[in-house]
Amino acid sequence: MTDTALKQLIAVVDKIKILTSSEPYSTLVKARALPNEYAREVGSLRIDSGSAYGGRPSESQIKLADNLKKRMIEAERYRGWNERRVLLSKYASELEGLRAILPALAAKASVEIGITARGLEEESKGNFPFKAEQEQVTR
């Protein structure tokens, strides 16, 4: 029996499971978390607002450093949103493609499984579907 359609069907279903999984660290969860992940990376940075010669930074330097950090966080969050949009669109296209081939692939696999089942039933009755197999058993 050739089980290529069945193997293809299993591969397609596995890919669909991967693309739609809501398990932690799945591709979908990772893509959805990108904006916050990028913002968190920048948010954990420390911006030194002191002068090059040492000493305590002035209030204006502290405010400037805080504003710069906020801008960087929002820029990274925006970059994360853009990357998220691209990835989710890619996953949606991939799922649509898989969904389109699923019915035909399932039908083909169903036919192959049916052929195998009927062959096994005939073999259980002592009828061999292929003459070559029958010759090997009778030798």
Query: Which residues have C-beta within 8 Å of that of residue 81, sequence separation ≥ 6?
Result: 34, 35
DSSP 130: S
Summarize pLDDT for 2-33 with one digit per residue, the tens: 558 999 999 999 999 999 998 988 889 999 99
What amino acid is encoded at 71 in this protein? R
Sorted by where each begins, the domain ranges of the chain are: 4-138
What amino acid is encoded at 26 in this protein? S
Q: Residue for token digits 């692939």? A: 105
What's the pTM?
A: 0.70
